[in-house]
Structure 1
Amino acid sequence: MTLAAQAHIVHRATQINTVVDDLQTLIKFKSVTPQQAGAIDWLSGQLRTLGFNCEQFTFNKVTNLIAKISFGDGPNYAFSGHIDVVPASGGPWRAEPFSGEIIDGAIYGRGAADMKGGVAAMLSASRALISHVAEKQGTFYWLITSDEEGEAEYGSLLIAERLAQQGIQLDGCIVGEPTSHLHIGDTIKNGRRGALSARLVINGKAGHVAYPENTINAAHLSADVVKRLTNITWQRDEHSSKTSVQITGINIANVVDNMVPARCEMTFNIRYSHGYKSSDIKNDIQFALADLQQYIDIEWQRPCESFYTSHQTHNCLLAKVEQAVFDITGSYPLLSTSGGTSDGRFFANQYTQVIECGVRNHTIHQVNEHVPISDLLKIEQIYTRLLEQIFILVER
Structure 2
Amino acid sequence: MTLAIQTPLQTKANTAQAVVDYLQTLIKFNSVTPHQAGAIDWLESQLATLGFECEQTTFNNVTNLIAKIRFDDGPIYAFSGHIDVVPASPEHWCTDPFSGAILDDAVYGRGAADMKGGVAAMLRATEYLVTNKDAKKGTFYWLITSDEEGEAEYGSLLIAERLVQQGVCLDGCIVGEPTSHLKVGDTIKNGRRGALSARLHIAGKAGHVAYPENTINAAHLSADVIKRLTSIDWLCDEPGSNTSLQITGINIDNVVDNMVPAQCELTFNVRYSHGYKSADIKNEIQFSLGDLAQSLSIEWERPCESFYTSHQSQNCLLAYVEQAVLSVTGSYPLLSTSGGTSDGRFFANNHTQVIECGVRNNTIHQVNEHVPIEDLVKIEQIYTQLLINIFNENARC
Alignment of 1:99-114 (within 5 A): 99-114=99-114
Give the CA RMSD over aligned residues: 1.2
Alignment of 1:83-162 (within 5 A): 83-89=83-89, 91-162=91-162
Distance 1:61 1:255 in 2: 41
Q: CA deviation at 1:12?
A: 2.7
Instruction: State the secondary structure of the residue aligned to 1:294.
Output: helix
Q: CA deviation at 1:5?
A: 6.7
Deviations 1:49-76 (A, max 9, x none): 1111111011111000000011001100
Distance 1:189 1:255 in 2: 48
Equivalent position of 1:350 in the other structure:
350
Distance 2:6 2:44 in 1: 32
Deviations 1:203-250 (A, max 9, x none): 100111111111000000000000000000011000110000000000
Letter in 1 for 2:115: M
Equivalent position of 2:242 in the other structure:
242
Structure 2 unaligned segments of length 5 or more: list them: none
Distance 1:187 1:223 in 2: 39
Equivalent position of 1:289 in the other structure:
289
Deviations 1:257-282 (A, max 9, x none): 11111110110000000011101100
Which deviates further from its counterpart, 175-184 or 386-395? 386-395
Which deviates further from its counterpart, 360-369 or 127-136? 127-136
Structure 1 unaligned segments of length 5 or more: list them: none
Residues 1:4 and 1:244: Cα distance change in structure 2 (over 3 Å):
farther
Q: CA deviation at 1:91?
A: 4.1
Distance 1:195 1:11 in 2: 44
Residues 1:90 and 1:281: Cα distance change in structure 2 (over 3 Å):
farther
Equivalent position of 1:363 in the other structure:
363
Q: Quick check: 1:312 aligned with 2:312?
A: yes
Distance 1:105 1:13 in 2: 13
Alignment of 1:1-396 (within 5 A): 6-89=6-89, 91-394=91-394
Letter in 2 for 1:175: V
Distance 1:9 1:123 in 2: 21
Instruction: State the secondary structure of the residue aligned to 1:268.
Output: strand
Task: Report the TM-score, using the length of structure 1 for normalisation.
Answer: 0.98
Instruction: State the secondary structure of the residue aligned to 2:294.
Output: coil
Letter in 2 for 1:216: I
Distance 2:180 2:16 in 1: 21
Q: CA deviation at 1:327?
A: 0.5
Q: Verify the 8 A CA contact 2:55 2:67 in the aligned structure 1.
A: yes
Distance 2:153 2:214 in 1: 47
Q: CA deviation at 1:4?
A: 8.7
Letter in 1 for 2:209: V
Which deviates further from its counterpart, 252-261 or 166-175? 252-261
Task: Report the TM-score, using the length of structure 2 for normalisation.
Answer: 0.97
Which deviates further from its counterpart, 19-28 or 248-257? 248-257
Instruction: State the secondary structure of the residue aligned to 1:46.
Output: helix
Letter in 2 for 1:292: L
Deviations 1:144-183 (A, max 9, x none): 0000000000000000000000000100000000000000
Q: Verify the 8 A CA contact 2:90 2:96 in the aligned structure 1.
A: no
Distance 2:147 2:133 in 1: 36
What is the percent sequence identity of the aligned residues? 76
Distance 1:52 1:90 in 2: 37
Q: CA deviation at 1:10?
A: 3.1
Distance 1:90 1:213 in 2: 58
Deviations 1:18-55 (A, max 9, x none): 10000000000000000000000000000011111111
Distance 2:182 2:5 in 1: 32
Letter in 1 for 2:369: E
Number of residue pairs aligned between Structure 1 and Structure 2: 394
Distance 1:338 1:18 in 2: 32
Q: CA deviation at 1:6?
A: 3.4
Instruction: State the secondary structure of the residue aligned to 2:40.
Output: helix
Deviations 1:293-348 (A, max 9, x none): 11111000000000000010111000110110010001100000000000000000
Q: CA deviation at 1:16?
A: 1.3
Instruction: State the secondary structure of the residue aligned to 2:47.
Output: helix
Letter in 2 for 1:58: T
Distance 1:89 1:360 in 2: 22
Letter in 2 for 1:345: R
